[in-house]
Structure 1
């Protein structure tokens, strides 16, 4: 019973309070790869803990004789709760994925109807500077407006395009989709919107870092400011995406932080290992 309670409490903490507190650590964005690993480990650990709590209670009740009718009922209820969690995840994943893919497919079709393709980039006749990408397993698009081409200097445009290519190469859309699925699958009083918001910032910071490695950091910063406030369609990833001020602040800080990155990676590994061990070790002890 103690293991079940610990796993249940851990699931609640990792789904809500911990992400809320972690989102207040702004310096974490300065090691974006390690930070993304930490957020993903936290989300996966929350799911493992939630599923493990039900499985632990069910097996604990049925593992050692004598098994009473009360044990069977409790194990059945625990199993039912576990199945509900799995079902909510499956339904949320199906609905979220289906809606996003339909939305992106329709948008790509509309872009293809009105845009001119120039060196692999879809150019829209639009007076506002716009730059975004529409992800997809096949036929992803990078879209810019004619105003973007005339407003940005060549180095700035190159940085923006590399930013969008990085989104597509790294499949940041799948990362965002996974967190959207988890947010919708858990009850509102448990799920934290902070995780989804922070991951949205991190994918932009990671794409910014990739663009800086391929080009000029100052050119990217000035391009982001020029594109500030530019709209991006739902389901797309835009260069002027989440928390522009925070991203520019990270861009200005060029100091490496290997110690922080290593510490955050170790924390991510520990968080993921904790529910795994709590689930596996009692089973191994029972087998002995």
Structure 2
């Protein structure tokens, strides 16, 4: 039997289990979050492509397409050639590959629709409860960050606790509470706005949706539950870096501590969370050396090359055969 099928099946299993687990425990990723996020995406895409590559290799072995792209054998003949156990295993792996593909499409649609419905409902709610013209919001100077923040997509809620999160999408929103205004000074408010605007500008929500769909598509016994948490943390670190460039590390740290107890609703991206301590400690650490991101980028490219060629080339060959036939 062709060795391509088991090789790519094993690669898909490794890229969905041990590799994400090891990568989630690495600490260099906190000092180079952009490169780490690219590596995470490369691992996820390579896992999907490897699964499909295994399925294509098995299909070509079971069907033995001829010059016109049509099968030249039958199941009974392949059972005689491969043996019943190996043929059964090949069919099971091929069926699992097809199932993963169908689950990936279904999960992508379901996650996208579900997330957008939640955001739409929450967007209507914050629009109805908006208090951007309240005395607290108006108490700052006319040239303060708060005044500049009172744009068409910023909403203020009547809550004493410091809260800050954003709702990405076409009709985006940045949601703050009155407690955020009373608890933070102008530098900290600038840091909060820079953090949330970074999420909106970079569309970090789409990255999370992709990883959520991939996580739900693979069977539970092979996927790693650490990938989603690690990617969510890296996204927050990238937004923290944008805020640091706008205000410096101290206002960002103060804003993180003030909003640490706030929890963003599902579908939103918030400033607070359980990783506050790690993120504050990271602000005082030096950035990663240039060689670390460079190695991560090279590793991302290398991980993608083999499965991409394995999937693209057979499809192109079979398409060319069918067109000739």
Cα separation, 2, equivalents of 1:259 and 1:141? 38
Q: What residue is the counterpart of 2:98 in the other structure?
A: 83
Cα separation, 2, equivalents of 1:242 and 1:258? 29
Matched, 1:257 2:289: yes
Task: Indicate conservation of the 8 Å contact 1:15/1:43, yes or no.
Answer: yes
Task: Indicate conservation of the 8 Å contact 1:159/1:220, yes or no.
Answer: yes
1:8-46 residue CA offsets vs partner (Å, 9 max, x unmatched): 000011011110011110222211110000000000000
Q: What residue is the counterpart of 1:40 in the other structure?
A: 41
Q: CA deviation at 1:249?
A: 2.2
Aligned length: 286
Partner secondary structure for residue 123 of structure 1: strand
Cα separation, 2, equivalents of 1:280 and 1:103? 36
Matched, 1:122 2:155: yes
Partner secondary structure for residue 25 of structure 2: coil
- Out of 262-271 and 76-85, give the one that drifted further: 76-85
Question: Normalising to structure 2: TM-score of the pair?
Answer: 0.82
Seen in structure 2, the aligned counterparts of structure 1 residues 279 and 60 have a Cα distance that, compared at 3 Å, is farther
Q: What residue is the counterpart of 1:173 in the other structure?
A: 205
Task: Indicate conservation of the 8 Å contact 2:52/2:311, yes or no.
Answer: no
Task: Indicate conservation of the 8 Å contact 2:158/2:177, yes or no.
Answer: yes
User: Between Structure 1 and Structure 2, whose CA radius of gyration is higher?
Assistant: 2
Cα separation, 1, equivalents of 2:225 and 2:75? 41
Q: 1:185 aligns with which of 206, 209, 217?
A: 217
Seen in structure 2, the aligned counterparts of structure 1 residues 281 and 98 have a Cα distance that, compared at 3 Å, is closer
Q: List runs of 5+ in structure 1 lacking aligned partners.
A: none
Q: What residue is the counterpart of 2:248 in the other structure?
A: 216
Cα separation, 2, equivalents of 1:281 and 1:98? 33
Q: List runs of 5+ in structure 2 lacking aligned partners.
A: 80-86, 133-148, 321-325
Question: Normalising to structure 1: TM-score of the pair?
Answer: 0.92
Q: CA deviation at 1:285?
A: 9.7
Task: Indicate conservation of the 8 Å contact 1:111/1:122, yes or no.
Answer: yes
Equivalent residues in 2 for 1:1-288, closer than 5 Å? 1-61=2-62, 62-63=64-65, 67-70=73-76, 80-117=95-132, 119-120=150-151, 121-136=154-169, 138-241=170-273, 243-279=275-311
Q: CA deviation at 1:116?
A: 2.4
Cα separation, 2, equivalents of 1:239 and 1:66? 59
Cα separation, 2, equivalents of 1:37 and 1:163? 20
Task: Indicate conservation of the 8 Å contact 2:21/2:224, yes or no.
Answer: yes
Cα separation, 1, equivalents of 2:116 and 2:77? 45
> Aligned-pair RMSD on alpha carbons?
2.3
Q: What residue is the counterpart of 2:323 in the other structure?
A: none
Cα separation, 2, equivalents of 1:115 and 1:6? 56
Partner secondary structure for residue 235 of structure 1: coil
Seen in structure 2, the aligned counterparts of structure 1 residues 191 and 208 have a Cα distance that, compared at 3 Å, is same
